[in-house]
């Protein structure tokens, strides 16, 4: 594209996956025990989307990347100190709950409203990136709902590869059943992409990129508006970690079909 792309990446923070997460009940609904004390990272699904966005922007002159992130300001600042050294972007933070128990519709509405409020955003050049899934907001529909609210008709989910053509169109590889990909061709922006893992490695830390990003990240965090993320009528009866269960039997001379049948019956119980 002659003037480049305006790429908006939706990505929140999640507790470090190496931590033990224990659900608890609070007066406002389910939450994680000591959630604000847990170290946080950028959602791995969103991280793939951000790295793909930065790679695309580096190849299309005039492109710009925004990272729209919903989460507590203190935790966002902690995570941005690391992420800002990987790729160039402009942070658009929203000071709100990053809880995995939030309603997908409320989250999508907040994301869409925030995207629409970005100054100078050109819809004719707009590409919205995000995680196909999420390590916390794992409803699997958030990005689709964002696209619907932005009235973006061309949406692709489970994207592993995006190849841009000389005429401005792009070829998309989406995951489908059986370990295969569906190949689609789209004429151009606006479009939305829910990324799977992509093909890019995690970028190395670059202190120069970090210093350039932090000049805008810190002021953006200071200006971040605080928004109560509505539950949207969502109600949880209970939340508890899965229980460990192990039943071991040593049996000889069973066929594969008999083993599969026994496993299926055990799961059914």
Task: Give the torsion through C-alpha atoms of 112, 48, 5, 107, to 10 deg.
Answer: 0
pLDDT recorded at residue 129: 93
pLDDT recorded at residue 227: 78
Domains of the chain: 6-223 (3.40.50.620)
pLDDT recorded at residue 235: 65
Burial class (CB in 10 A: 0-12, 13-18, 19+), 15: buried
SS3 179: helix
pLDDT recorded at residue 115: 92
Q: What is the mean pLDDT of each run of 10 residues along the chain (269 residues)?
A: 83 78 70 74 88 89 90 85 88 83 82 90 90 74 89 90 85 85 88 87 86 87 79 64 73 86 85
Alpha-carbon gap, residue 245 to 122, rounded angstroms: 53
Q: Which of 63, 72, 51, 78 is nearest to 126 (CA)?
A: 63
Alpha-carbon gap, residue 200 to 172, rounded angstroms: 15
SS3 24: strand
For the chain, how long is the longest CA-to-CA vector? 69
């Amino acid at each position: 594209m002659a003037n480049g792309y305006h790429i908006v990446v939706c990505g929140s923070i999640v507790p470090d996956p190496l931590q033990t997460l224990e659900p608890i009940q609070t007066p406002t609904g389910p939450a994680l025990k000591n959630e604000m004390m847990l170290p946080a990272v950028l959602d791995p699904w969103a991280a793939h989307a951000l790295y793909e966005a930065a790679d695309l922007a580096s190849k299309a002159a005039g492109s710009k990347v925004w990272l729209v992130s919903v989460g507590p300001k203190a935790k966002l600042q902690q995570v941005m100190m690391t992420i800002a050294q990987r790729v160039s972007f402009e942070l658009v933070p929203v000071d709100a709950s990053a809880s995995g128990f939030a309603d997908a519709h409320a989250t999508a509405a907040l994301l869409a409203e925030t995207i629409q409020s970005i100054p100078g955003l050109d819809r004719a050049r707009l590409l919205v990136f995000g995680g196909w899934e999420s390590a916390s907001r794992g409803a699997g529909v958030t990005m689709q709902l964002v696209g619907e609210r932005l009235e973006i008709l061309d949406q692709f989910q489970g994207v592993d590869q995006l190849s841009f053509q000389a005429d401005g169109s792009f070829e998309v590889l989406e995951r489908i059943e059986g370990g295969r990909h569906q190949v689609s061709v789209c004429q151009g922006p606006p479009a939305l992409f829910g990324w799977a893992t992509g093909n890019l490695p995690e970028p190395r830390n670059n202190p120069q990129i970090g210093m350039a990003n932090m000049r805008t990240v810190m002021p953006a965090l200071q200006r971040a508006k605080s928004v109560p993320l509505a539950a949207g009528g969502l109600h949880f009866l209970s939340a508890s970690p899965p229980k460990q269960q192990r039943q071991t039997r040593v049996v000889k001379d069973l066929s594969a079909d008999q083993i599969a049948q026994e496993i299926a019956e055990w799961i059914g119980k």
